[in-house]
Amino acid sequence: MTDNNSPIVVTIGILGGTGKEGSGLAMRWALNGYRVVIGSRDAERAAARAAELNAALNGEYIVGKSNAEAAEEADYVVLSVPYDAHRTTIESVKDQLKGKVMIDLTVPLAPPDVMRVNVPEGKSAALEAQSYLAESARVVAAFQNVSAVKLKDPNVTVDCDVLVCSDDADAKRGVIQLVEAAGMRGIDAGPLANAVAVEALTPVLLYINKAYKVKGAGIRITG
């Protein structure tokens, strides 16, 4: 039990948090006072990855559990999985997502040609996620254009803006705060339908990385 002066700790559950992007965000949020639970289909794998991240951070900041447990405990649920695992992951935690905000990082890439825009049947991964969940959860699209290379070191400034799309204004504001806590600038990019354009920028950035022999090209909104 906490007293009236105790801060309210927000819990972030990262499904697919053992991957590069999810792990990078986990470290950044953990260092900024959030409770972070990384999830995986294999709870033991998540626990092992959490231990690795805690060792890198020199503290006990992050815990690892199953995807369902991470979603159940979280105030905000982050989906950081490849597109081919997108629907199955959402459906596996649908009950735990009820009433929550789900931040969808997924880009509908079509390997092996990941430098070509692929528009899925539902127009965007985020729109498909909202259709799977109906009105049981609020989907926010964000972080699709941020390189995991830049996120992996929490002491490095990420020179990239984050476009945030959602049909729920309150959810969008909350996610923009999380963007700022992770060390970036969040930009209100409109309704969830605009995620079509945001997701499509990722293969463009991947092409730019290859063409100019760089790592982690990002975007900036000017003016």
Tens digits of per-residue pLDDT, 1-31? 344 555 678 999 999 999 999 999 999 999 9
Q: What is the pLDDT of residues 51-90, one digit of tens each?
A: 999 999 999 999 999 999 999 999 999 999 999 999 999 9
pTM greater than 0.75: yes
- Pick from 32, 9, 31, 29: nearest CA to 21: 29
- Cβ contacts of 55 within 8 Å, gap of 6 or more: none
pLDDT value, residue 215: 87
Residue 97 · residue 133 · CB < 8 Å: yes
- DSSP designation for 213: T
Q: What is the pLDDT of residues 96-109, one digit of tens each?
A: 999 999 999 999 99
Distances (CA, A) of 20 to 53, 63, 100: 11, 16, 24
pLDDT value, residue 85: 97
- What's the rounded Cα separation, in Å, for the pair 74 and 101? 9
Q: What is the pLDDT of residues 111-148, one digit of tens each?
A: 999 999 999 999 999 999 999 999 999 999 999 999 99
Give the torsion sign (CA, 104, 191, 27, 114): positive
- What's the rounded Cα separation, in Å, for the pair 37 and 26? 8
Q: What is the pLDDT of residues 148-186, one digit of tens each?
A: 988 988 988 899 999 999 999 999 999 999 999 999 999
